[in-house]
Amino acid sequence: MPRYLVQRTFPGGLAIPTNPSGAQACLGVVDGNAQHGVTWVHSYVTDDRQKTFCIYDGPSPESIREAAGVTGLPIDSITEVRVLDPYFYVTGAVG
């Protein structure tokens, strides 16, 4: 399954409370994504909480856009990515 980096901007800042309400909001995103075969792997959030960089697995960029339509999340860009593990090279796995 392809992996994507999804960049989002939250002009007012992203606010997910660390309580059952926040947990329910995250589960709502997971459930909305699942309707389109999309899996939210994890996200990075800037200090000002206005940008997120989210890692998703999914069949296509279109499926991620469709899932975002269900969840109401903004999308600035979607980029297909691959993992580059520097330790793969350090451990002598190459050669």
Order of strands across the sheet that contains 3-9: 39-45, 51-57, 3-9, 77-81
> Range of 33's domain?
3-90
In a 10 Å sphere around its CB, with 0-12 CB exposed, 13-18 middle and 19+ buried, how is residue 54 labelled? buried
pLDDT for position 60: 98
The total domain count for the chain is 1
Q: Is residue 95 part of a domain?
A: no
Per-residue pLDDT of the chain (95 residues; tens, 9 = 90+): 999 999 999 999 998 888 899 999 999 999 999 999 999 999 999 999 999 999 999 999 999 999 999 999 999 999 999 988 888 777 666 55
pLDDT for position 65: 97
pLDDT for position 61: 98
- Distance separating the N- and C-terminal Cα atoms of the chain: 27
Q: Is residue 71 part of a domain?
A: yes
- The CATH number given to whatever domain includes residue 86 is 3.30.70.3090
Q: Is residue 78 part of a domain?
A: yes
The DSSP bridge partners found for residue 40 are 56
